[in-house]
Amino acid sequence: MKTHGELKGFWERRLQSDWTESGVGYAALGRAFNTWMYRVRAEVFDREAATIPLHLPDARVLDIGSGTGFYVRRWQGLGVKSIVGCDLTAAAVERLRGRFPGVEFHEVDIAEPGDVLEPGSFDAVSAMDMLFHITDDARYRAALHSVAAALRPGGVFVLSENFLQRPEQRGDHQVNHTLPWITHALDEAGFDVMRRMPMLVLMNAQVDANPVWRKLWGGLLRAVTLSERTGGLAGSLLYPLERRLVRLLRESPTTEMMICRRR
């Protein structure tokens, strides 16, 4: 397991060199394919976040792990006017402040936010595609407690994770926890799960699938994304199928989105 400092350095270097969808997404599949993948993520997020029990134009929202600001833009599109963003890296925060001049951004480690985030001051918090990059379990749980502290009672927490039904998977830069482990950690932090739905199905690593299928599909995806041209073509062909699958299926072998309420 990498130390916290090593992980921060990894993300500083990665976002400094590639501040795009591929930098924050599945880098091995290239920018063109990731752009199509993020179109699906956007549609799922917009559809589900629009139904949370808040009057969004009056809500105060915190986006954690803002990266390129993809989900900051999504909240803005849903009518949210008061947004605070944060990221672990200076590389992201400096650029985010230029891209979103009306949004407040902080360089924050959500596992140890200090006094940057006023307790109970947010109506909603999003943490998209970032919690599985906290590879220390204690820091993961600390991050959830920090989110709960920032939310008002009854506030909404929107997150994406891999929620494995199969055994946990641990790597240097990512840990895929099981669904029971994550829901238990959320419960300990003071959250009730409202619902969970697929965010992607085929356009991402099949981390919760049969190992044979996972290897075959992963190899195929990497093969068809060897160039930006073929990656863009593969993304455009998969996109209409993926849009349908995320609406039809109740669970996914890859990234899912969950909506929770703070007790």
Write out the two tokens for 97.
Answer: 């402040």
- Check residue 81 and give its pLDDT: 97
How do residues 95-148 score in pLDDT, each as one tens digit?
Answer: 999 999 999 999 999 999 999 999 999 999 999 999 999 999 999 999 999 999
Q: Would you say residue 21 has pLDDT above 80? A: no
Over residues 202-245, the pLDDT tens digits come to 999 999 999 999 999 999 999 999 999 999 999 999 999 999 99
Residue 58: closest CA among 42, 43, 74, 75 = 75
Class of the domain covering 4-262 = alpha beta
Q: What one-character DSSP code corresponds to residue 178?
A: B
Rounded to whole angstroms, how far apart are CA atoms 159 and 186?
11
Assign 12 a pLDDT band (cuts: 50, 70, 90).
confident
The predicted pLDDT at position 23 comes to: 62
What does the buried/exposed string (b/e) look like for 158-196 if buried means 16 or more CB atoms within 10 Å of the residue's CB?
bbbbbbbebeeeeeeeebbbbbeebbebbeebbbeeeeb
What pairing do the DSSP bridges indicate for beta strands 151-161 and 256-262? Answer: antiparallel
Tokens of 132: 């599985």
Cα-Cα end-to-end distance for the chain? 33
* Mean pLDDT, residues 244-250 taken together: 98
pLDDT of residue 24: 67
The per-type count for the chain, helices as H runs and strands as E runs, is 9, 9
Q: Read off the pLDDT of residues 40-87 as tens digits, 9 standing for 90 and up.
A: 999 999 999 999 999 999 999 999 999 999 999 999 999 999 999 999
H-assigned helices in the chain? 4-17, 21-24, 30-49, 70-77, 90-99, 137-150, 179-189, 211-224, 228-248
